[in-house]
Amino acid sequence: MTSRVCLVHYHEIGLKGKNRSTFERQLITNLKRALKGRSAHVERLAGYVRVHFEDEDVPADVPELISRVPGVARVSVAYRCEREPEQYNEAAIESLKACEPFQTFKVHGRRSNTDYPIHSIDLNRQVGAVLCDAFPDKKVQMHQPDVTVNVHVVQSDVYVYADATSMRGAGGLPVGTAGKVVTLLSSGFDSPVATWMVGRRGATCVPVHFSGRPMTSDASEWLTQDIVRALEPAGIIGRLYVVPFGECQREISLKAPQSLRVIMYRRLMFEVAQAVAELEGAKALVTGESLGQVASQTLDNITATNDVAKIPVFRPLIGTDKIEIIDRARRIGTYDISAQTAPDCCTLFMPRRPETHAHLDAVRRAWETFDHDAMVKHLMETIEYVDFDTCPSYRPPRELKTRHRELAPAEWPENSAE
């Protein structure tokens, strides 16, 4: 009997040693979450993960959903056949037919189980002869063919698919295998990409958004929620924190030297993010900074901001330029959201001439011109959050368990506020 399944390939997980099964189990958990409500059966094979459905076919949008889950290197829609030559030969013909137009092809046979009596080389010859008869006007080409038909014997089945119809995945490691981090998330281009990149390395991300409210509207908060939903297939975010930051910015603008305002804002953001990290049990902060891109991201100013950091600060975009960042934003689905303009804390009380090469001594003196400890305490008391059912590895802290009505979508019936 022949049916259609998704064959999920992974690369880095396959290099793991005795803990490989831990990574495989987490990937399966994440795939089940991404396919929730679709009656999908997700199970581990030798070197693969198989996804199949009750009607023995694969919905058209499923491969793309699977491809966005970190840990997936490639996803192929394959024919699942019994170990009968008639079945997998016919499946090979159908796979190659779906790749028209093409001129050259080859067959790649492989056995994961040596109990199958036909050797891989003989499997190549057998299927190749059938395809030559079925496509007499096409040529066999062993190096760089237009299409490769894969015939893999895995456990008790044979899986047949053409690589031309496979889809490249996000790669990386399954979310939930690398601990928890707090990311500073704005509605711009950079920080969503940085969040995705760290999530792709297996980290569970807890974003904190600093809003200009009440000095600005809450538009950036809603855009940030849209960004989280755009990243939903990756399953990297379980909770979004929102910090009404406008009043503190106003106070800083009145007390600190004008040229150092931005650095003061950034240092206070780091302090609040570290308080959230302590609450969440996170081990690092993540920012979307790119070296030299804006005034606050020069090497001297990054050093001045880092001065308050007590835990590691990851900057996955530090060596990238804006074109590269925007290209990545398009690929992960956040570009259209980030392209919308919204007033936020980044544009609030900005100095006319921000310092680009701050001296640490001057920064530390400016830091003591206002009560930053009281600000951190106030901001943590007024912090708001929204939970998203998208990250199986996220566990909320016991101290905070109530969604905030003013941020949560109206369709959530269980919304409440303390």
Question: Among residues 199, 215, 254, which one has the least CA distance to residue 346?
Answer: 215
Query: Which of 52, 54, 49, 13 shows the shortest CA–CA distance to 29?
Result: 49
Unique residue bearing structure tokens 């795939």: 31
Q: Is position 173 annotated in a ligand binding site? A: no
Local structure of residue 121 (DSSP, 8 states): H
CB-based contact 183:191 (threshold 8 Å): yes
Is 210 annotated in some ligand binding site? yes
Residues forming beta bridges with residue 181, ordered by sequence position: 205
What single-letter amino acid sits at 210?
F
Nearest to 71 by CA among 207, 231, 228, 203: 203
Q: Which two tokens stand for residue 111?
A: 């056995």
Whose CA is closest to 262, among 188, 383, 363, 369?
363
For residues 92-101, b (16+ Cβ closer than 10 Å) or e, as one string?
bbebbeebee
Return all residues near 334 (Cβ < 8 A) that are at least 6 apart: 189, 192, 193, 196, 227, 230, 231
Q: Give 6-38 as a DSSP string.
A: EEEE-SGGGG--TTHHHHHHHHHHHHHHHTTTS
d(CA 132, CA 38): 38
How many Å from the N-terminal Cα to the C-terminal Cα in the chain? 57
Is residue 279 annotated as involved in ligand binding?
no
Q: Is 209 annotated as belonging to a binding site?
A: yes
The reply to whether 144 sits in an annotated binding site is: no
Burial class (CB in 10 A: 0-12, 13-18, 19+), 111: middle
Whether residue 184 is annotated as binding a ligand: the answer is yes
In angstroms, rounded to a whole number, what is the distance separating the alpha carbons of residues 25 and 27?
Answer: 5
Nearest residue to 127 (alpha-carbon basis) of 80, 167, 94: 94
Listed in order, strand segments (DSSP E) in 251-408 are: 285-286, 313-314, 384-387
Could you list the residues known to form a binding site for ATP, using ranges: 184-185, 209-210, 266, 288, 297
Could you list the residues known to form a binding site, using ranges: 184-185, 209-210, 266, 288, 297
